[in-house]
Structure 1
């Protein structure tokens, strides 16, 4: 399960518009980078949240998927990430990635 998800998850994430992910070298978490439209970054500021924090809030509210924002882990200023655990059954991971892909966040702010 872990080896399969480590190889497969970054590949799927890289095929979602606005997300890029480096190959995993080990560990239980992947930290894909979000490329958010300026309008989304500005909206996050208006609601008093970091852009990746606001993205995670929208993800849980609209898709029922919980992830942690990169701002909680010391990401480089001006970048936005999410943290995703790959230590889940393949079927669960498939559903998580499907919901992530179907979130219309980027379309809304592009």
Structure 2
């Protein structure tokens, strides 16, 4: 199965799951649980870039960031200490940028 077909299947499954959940945070958690680990890391990288270059961050980005951090942390713990440390650094960077945004907007 090609990457596009796989991505479409993941999107379809995420959409089906989204109909069963109530909040955006739960939707993103469901979606990210379906991604493979490399796609999850790519999403974290995109989010870090979006957060670090934006002056205004909407709640959608915050929900996505929190869901990515949670999913990466849960998977990384089972992948070994070296990977866990690398992912923790990415997660910490996302956390700091979210905290910075919240501090600026409160």
- TM-score normalised by length of structure 1: 0.31
Q: Bigger relative contact order, structure 1 or 2, given CA contacts below 8 A and separation 6+?
A: 1
TM, length-normalised to structure 2: 0.31
Q: Which is richer in strand? A: 1
Give the structure with higher Rg (CA).
Answer: 2
Question: Quick check: which one's helix share is greater?
Answer: 2
